[in-house]
Amino acid sequence: MAKYFSDQSSCVQKQFLTKRTAIELGSGNGFLSVCLLAALINRDGEFDETQKSDHNNMFKNYVGLNRLVITDFSDHLPLIEKTLEANPSIIEDAKARNMDIEVVKHEWGIFPTCGDDDESRNVLCRDETFDFIFGSDLAYRSTLHEPLIKSLKRFSHDKTVILIGITMNDTPSSFFDKLSDAGFSYERLNDCLMDPKFRGQTFGLFAVQKKKH
């Protein structure tokens, strides 16, 4: 998926002209979110040299993502923070575009109530939806399917686009049956959108949305 964000950055940018909020599920080390940010801010070709000299002018016409939430278990959050810190230019440019980047704990299928204690501030506990949900290699174990789908349902609205990277040899077809039963439709992205070395392989990207009634 990281390679897709890089190779198809123009397509990704167009998609985010109408998307304001995004969440990554099961981030691990935060690398995928950094790749998404890099794809979104790679827009230098749209500005002349005079505009580039003014940092504010460079970004003033940008319309797109304004909030990115990166999630995983609490023991992964320090690693995600380190990945963000290791890519300061990308993070600074994202913030210059008024993007709010949050790193918070989320255990799939569990939705705690927000409290006033310090711990709750690092937990995704607000009742909210996102325009874009993404993650890779999330459904590799059958015990993860139900809680993952619960989170997809909780965080998506009728127009949310979900992008999931799946390795077919460790994700049974029952996962897709459960997705459908939960009210989602799905479609595998054409191999032509993938890097050549990933074409015809067991890994695929799937676009998922709530079924239209």
What's the rounded Cα separation, in Å, for the pair 132 and 163? Answer: 8
pLDDT confidence of residue 49: 42
Check pLDDT > 70 for residue 16.
yes
Check pLDDT > 60 for residue 203.
yes
Q: What is the mean pLDDT of residues 157-174?
A: 90
pLDDT confidence of residue 115: 66
pLDDT confidence of residue 60: 46
Check pLDDT > 80 for residue 123.
no
**How many CB atoms within 10 Å of residue 136?**
21
Most confident of 40-49, 99-108, 191-200: 99-108
pLDDT confidence of residue 46: 44
Length of the chain in terms of residues written: 213
Q: Give 204 or 151, the one with higher predicted confidence.
A: 151
Q: What is the mean pLDDT of residues 102-117?
A: 84
In order of their start, the domains of the chain are 2-210 (3.40.50.150)
What's the rounded Cα separation, in Å, for the pair 80 and 101? Answer: 12
Q: What is the mean pLDDT of residues 126-137?
A: 90
pLDDT confidence of residue 48: 37
Nearest to 208 by CA among 165, 146, 167: 165
Instruction: Please report the DSSP string for 38-107 in residue order.
Output: HHHH--GGGS-HHHHTSHHHHHTT--S--EEEEEE-GGGHHHHHHHHHT-HHHHHHHHHTT-EEEEEE--
Q: What is the mean pLDDT of residues 180-187?
A: 96
Average pLDDT, the chain: 84
- 68 with 36: CB under 8 angstroms? yes
